[in-house]
Amino acid sequence: MTAAVPSRCLCDAGALRTAHRYTEPPPGETRLPIPPGSYRRDLLRCDRCGHFVSSHDLDLRSLYQGTYVDATYGSDGIRRAFDRITALDPARSDNAGRVRRVVDFAARHFGSAAPRSVLDVGSGLCVFLHRLREAGWDGTALDPDERAVHHARTTVGVKAVQGDLLTITPPGRFEVVTFNKVLEHVPDPVAMLARARDFLAPGGFVYVEVPDGEGAWAEGPGREEFFVEHFHVFSAVSAAMLARRAGFRILELERLREPSSKFTLRAFLSAEGDSGGRS
């Protein structure tokens, strides 16, 4: 998989210009199986909306064929990583704040604090669905990696589907569809987000988290938000454009610095033309 660099930004108004050129991986980035000295990529930034795009011809297939999981957690480390994160003090946990925010928003959106059905796209370690399951929610994990799917079923105890959101047959309709740090990993985030409409129940909402490039850029191009696996790094404006182009309207959009130090944009969306919900 090589980067399909768009000629224009999501805002369709500005030009993409080189913000930084990498000649070696920044500290902490997952190492690709490439010859020494072959690492070259440009970080492009829109001169109007501040959106970032990673431009290169590096082969990223290893990241999405299991190597990413191995490099990030170790071949048998999914359970250990899950246990470590779930044991964190809530004040130090990105996930604890995420779950609290989604549950609180759902209570306002639906006019009731009753548990909801949720599809988590790119479920990974499944920490998010674990906490929602504890709150009584009916969770379904969707992930392309068979190990993540097995972990979701056997460790977390939720329903799980292996596959790609763009190509699978919807296993049902869900009141909530979530993308937690997923859309930055795909060349065409508009297409992926638009596909969520086929999985969303009338009156439901979509929750999106993406890296905040504007916040991260203030600390330099070595930040993890700009690592090679991220095709896109968003600004508030480009996140809004992403939602609009995918056929959604923004109910709330906010930025935060998470306990892990990540700069994050999060948004709650409803499908255009859907009058359900009370937000």
pLDDT tens digits along 168-182? 999 999 999 999 999
- Contact, 176 vs 139, CB < 8 A? no
Please give the helix or strand (H or E) that residue 239 lies within, else none: helix 236-245
Centroid of chain to Cα 158: 20
Interatomic CA distance for residues 265 and 181, integer angstroms: 10
Between these two residues, 39 and 81, which has the higher pLDDT value?
39
Which residue, 192, 178, 180, 205, is CA-closest to 271?
Answer: 205
How far does the chain reach from its first CA to its final CA, in angstroms?
Answer: 40
Centroid of chain to Cα 81: 18
Interatomic CA distance for residues 210 and 122, integer angstroms: 13
Cβ neighbourhood burial of 172 (10 Å; 0-12, 13-18, 19+): exposed
What's the pLDDT at 2?
A: 47
For the chain, give the percent of residues with pLDDT over 90: 75
> β-strand 52-55 against 117-121: which pairing, if any?
unpaired
Interatomic CA distance for residues 232 and 5, integer angstroms: 10
* Average pLDDT of the segment spanning 242-257: 97
Interatomic CA distance for residues 148 and 77, integer angstroms: 11
What's the pLDDT at 66?
A: 54
Give the pair of three-digit tokens for residue 170: 């919807």
For the chain, give the percent of residues with pLDDT over 70: 90
* Average pLDDT of the segment spanning 96-108: 96
**Is the model's pLDDT at 70 over the cut of 90?**
no
Interatomic CA distance for residues 71 and 49, integer angstroms: 33
* Average pLDDT of the segment spanning 246-254: 98
What's the pLDDT at 76?
A: 58
* Average pLDDT of the segment spanning 151-176: 95
Q: Which CATH number fits domain 16-271: 3.40.50.150, 3.40.50.1820, 3.10.450.50, 3.40.47.10?
A: 3.40.50.150
What's the pLDDT at 75?
A: 45
Q: Tell me the Ramachandran region of residue 85: left when phi exceeds 0, alpha when psi lies from -120 to 50, beta otherwise.
A: alpha
User: 108 in helix, strand or coil?
Assistant: helix
What's the pLDDT at 6?
A: 60
What's the pLDDT at 9?
A: 84
Between these two residues, 13 and 234, which has the higher pLDDT value?
234
* Average pLDDT of the segment spanning 200-210: 98
Mean pLDDT score across all residues of the chain:
90
**Is the model's pLDDT at 189 over the cut of 80?**
yes
**Is the model's pLDDT at 31 over the cut of 60?**
yes
Interatomic CA distance for residues 269 and 220, integer angstroms: 30
What's the pLDDT at 1?
A: 45
* Average pLDDT of the segment spanning 69-74: 53
Between these two residues, 77 and 41, which has the higher pLDDT value?
41
**Is the model's pLDDT at 72 over the cut of 80?**
no
pLDDT band at 4 (very low <50, low <70, confident <90, very high): low
**Is the model's pLDDT at 145 over the cut of 50?**
yes
**Is the model's pLDDT at 71 over the cut of 60?**
no
